[in-house]
Amino acid sequence: MRKITLGKKSNYEKMEETVFDEETIEEGEDDEIIKELEIDLYNLHTEVQNQPNLLRKHAKIFASKKKRMEQEKTNLKILEFDVAKDIKDNPTDYGLEKGKVTDTILKMAIPSNKRWKKQFKKFLDAQEEHDTWNIVKDATRDRTYNIKSAIELYLSNYFGDVEVQKSKRNRKD
């Protein structure tokens, strides 16, 4: 989603207007996710019914985080191009001599740019969210196996009544 504006803007200024739907894991939300991943052993039938929806929900959030991370990565590359062009056009603004800007100097100078640092932080934040939701997605997928294991335990009467039997050695007849 982009706003259309008139006038000349750099590629970075244009991409900065891109709007993202934010779904980050806030402090209280972490507890909600943990609760969603818990398995109610006394209602396994509802857990089986709800599992596909939970997996779809977490997979969709993960996909949006991956998309955002890739967009921030692309934005960073666009900004690097703009900054490199600016350094080549105005080397004295960066404390460099005119005509002596090499690729090595560019690689070293680009990270000193404030706009680049800001965009790099956005990329790192997006990458962290992506990695976090990847773990949540995997945990949700593992939950399917855990539900199946709980059902197997139930069917083998693991949760049934357990009678304590006296050992033959301690029994007096």
Residue range 60-80, pLDDT digits in tens: 999 999 999 999 999 999 999
Does this model's pTM top 0.75? no
Residue type at 73? Answer: K
- Interacting residues of 100 by C-beta distance below 8 A, sequence separation 6+: 91
Asked if the structure places residue 173 within a domain, the reply is no
Q: Is 29 a domain residue? A: no
Determine the structural domain holding residue 107 and report its residue range: 39-155
Classify residue 149: in a domain, yes or no: yes
Q: Report whether pLDDT(26) > 80.
A: no
| 168 within a domain of the structure (yes/no) | no
> What residue has token string 């969603």?
36
Confidence of residue 16 (pLDDT cuts 50, 70, 90): low
96, part of any domain: yes
The number of folded domains in the chain is: 1
In a domain, 15, yes or no: no
Provide the total of helices (H) and of strands (E) in the chain, helices listed first.
5, 0
Q: Per-residue confidence at 4, pLDDT binned at 50, 70, 90? A: very low
Q: Is 56 inside any structural domain? A: yes
Instruction: For the chain, give the mean pLDDT.
Output: 83
Write the pLDDT tens digit of every residue in 78-122.
999 999 999 999 888 888 888 788 889 888 989 989 999 999 999
Establish if 117 belongs to a structural domain. Answer: yes
Does the structure show a pLDDT above 50 at 3?
A: no
Q: How far apart are CA 108 and CA 116, in angstroms?
A: 12
